[in-house]
């Protein structure tokens, strides 16, 4: 007769299952953290992209204003070139025609300059030879396109702007140098900028290379004066666009054919108004709620895993207990047969094995905990004079 030897349900048999559950829980936790991180990055990147789009729109407004201004001056210069070629393209220039041109354009003075820089004709008040070598006059002769100057001090403390308009003749290229009153040009630029669609309630200026205001739709900026916003003037002097003064943002765009720039300035709260406030907060509130739900789900998942692990351990303990119980019964039978035959030594050996198996059975039923001395405290001694009563079957709950 052979007997099976059961092993106590120790940690080794349940360790693989527990390790699998721990790995599954850690994997789920890492996956949720990665997903939350990805969603947070996507949300932040989306809002940052919206901000960049608003900044680009702000830049585009400055570029459009500068391009339209350049186109207006270029269109007027094209017509002037044709007229000047007809009026002042001969070997001699009529002083009367030159005076009429100055009167019609409300110019301070008009001068016709040859390609070598010599003054061919001029109205009273025109500059001397020194003005004919100005960079904008030289560039107009070289490029054949109209060029404008910075603000220049004029008669009586006024400010003027010189326009160098080149035109071809049979005697070589010539330039009509016209002094325009800055106030006239400022009103034109201010009226034009006021009709351009505004963005984020921005303030608009046209400034020259020296940072002086050429034109603005607002009354706060005087023609010929520096920008009223000193911090904006400092920012514009070193950069084309960016932040300044904490909560302010600006953008500039050059006007072709001149040293001028269009300058836009606004507050960041107005610039980013469409992506700030509730539109910015609500997505993060939704994300926080999603993260909370994910954390609760992960907690519930952990509890399910723990419960499943306990059930598996309980089932494993039950199987081991049944095996040990079978070992106990079989060894008791062997001990009884040996005792009946008078083999006292064999009977004692089997009884000792039976006691050890019984201890393993109890250990298994007590959730694999060791039985230390002194754990059990009874009110009465265990009955040994009569057999134990059979266990009472559990009620099935049926009538």
DSSP state of 390: P
How many angstroms separate the CA atoms of 207 and 227, rounded?
8
* Per-residue exposure over 260-295, b if at least 16 CB sit within 10 Å of its own CB, e if not: bbbbbbbbbeebbeebbeeeeeeeeeebeeebeebe
Q: Which of 126, 115, 182, 189 is nearest to 149 (CA)?
A: 182
Q: What angle do helix axes 344-365 and 278-341 make, rounded to 10 degrees?
A: 170
How many angstroms separate the CA atoms of 239 and 249, rounded?
12
Q: What's the length of the chain?
A: 399
pLDDT per position as a tens digit, 189-219: 888 887 777 777 888 899 999 999 998 887 6
* Per-residue exposure over 353-379, b if at least 16 CB sit within 10 Å of its own CB, e if not: bbeebbebbebbeeebeeeeeeeeeee
| Neighbour tally for 196: CB within 10 Å | 16
How remote is the C-alpha of 378 from its chain's centroid?
Answer: 71
* Per-residue exposure over 1-19, b if at least 16 CB sit within 10 Å of its own CB, e if not: eeeeebebbeeebbeeeee
Per-residue pLDDT of the chain (399 residues; tens, 9 = 90+): 444 444 444 444 455 666 777 787 788 788 888 888 887 877 777 878 888 888 898 999 889 889 988 888 888 788 888 888 888 988 888 888 899 988 888 888 999 999 888 889 999 888 776 667 889 999 998 998 999 999 998 877 788 999 999 999 998 899 999 998 888 888 888 888 877 777 778 888 999 999 999 988 876 778 888 898 899 999 999 899 999 988 899 999 999 999 999 999 999 888 888 777 656 677 767 778 878 877 787 788 777 777 777 777 777 777 766 776 777 677 677 777 767 776 677 767 767 777 776 666 666 555 555 555 555 555 655 555 555 555 555 554 443
* Cβ contacts of 87 within 8 Å, gap of 6 or more: 94, 97, 101
pLDDT per position as a tens digit, 344-373: 777 677 677 777 766 666 665 555 555 555
Mean pLDDT of the chain: 79
How many angstroms separate the CA atoms of 276 and 47, rounded?
9
What is the model's pTM?
Answer: 0.64
């Amino acid at each position: 007769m052979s007997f099976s030897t059961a092993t106590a349900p120790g940690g080794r048999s349940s360790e693989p299952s527990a390790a699998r559950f721990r790995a599954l829980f850690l994997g789920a936790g890492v996956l949720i953290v990665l997903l939350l991180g990805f969603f947070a990055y996507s949300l932040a990147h989306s809002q940052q992209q919206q901000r960049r789009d608003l900044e680009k729109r702000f830049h585009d407004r400055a570029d459009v204003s500068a391009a339209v201004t350049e186109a207006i001056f270029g269109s007027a210069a094209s017509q002037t070139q044709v007229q000047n070629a007809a009026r002042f393209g001969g070997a001699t220039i009529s002083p009367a025609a030159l005076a009429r041109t100055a009167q019609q354009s409300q110019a301070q003075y008009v001068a016709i300059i040859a390609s070598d820089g010599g003054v061919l004709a001029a109205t009273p008040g025109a500059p001397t030879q020194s003005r004919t070598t100005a960079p904008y006059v030289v560039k107009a002769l070289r490029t054949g396109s109209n060029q404008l100057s910075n603000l220049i001090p004029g008669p009586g403390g006024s400010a003027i702007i010189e326009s160098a308009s080149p035109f071809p003749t049979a005697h070589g290229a010539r330039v009509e140098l016209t002094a325009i009153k800055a106030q006239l040009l400022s009103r034109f630029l201010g009226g034009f900028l006021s009709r351009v669609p505004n963005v984020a309630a921005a303030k608009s200026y046209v400034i020259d290379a020296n940072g002086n205001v050429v034109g603005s739709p607002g009354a706060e900026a005087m023609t010929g004066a520096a920008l009223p916003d000193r911090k904006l003037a400092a920012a514009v002097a070193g950069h084309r666009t960016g932040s300044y003064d904490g909560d302010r943002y600006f953008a500039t765009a050059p006007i072709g054919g001149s040293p001028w720039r269009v300058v836009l300035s606004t507050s960041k709260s107005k610039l980013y108004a469409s992506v700030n406030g509730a539109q910015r907060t609500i997505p993060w509130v939704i994300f926080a709620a999603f993260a909370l739900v994910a954390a609760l789900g992960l907690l519930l998942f952990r509890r399910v895993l723990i419960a499943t692990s306990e059930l598996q351990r309980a089932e494993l303990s039950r199987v081991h207990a049944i095996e040990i119980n079978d070992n106990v019964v079989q060894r008791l039978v062997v001990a009884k047969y040996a005792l009946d035959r008078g083999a006292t030594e064999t009977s004692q050996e089997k009884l000792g094995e039976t006691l050890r198996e019984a201890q393993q059975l109890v250990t298994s039923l007590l959730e694999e905990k060791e039985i230390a001395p002194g754990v059990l405290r009874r009110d009465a001694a265990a009955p040994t004079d009569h057999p134990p009563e059979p266990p009472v079957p559990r009620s099935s709950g049926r009538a």
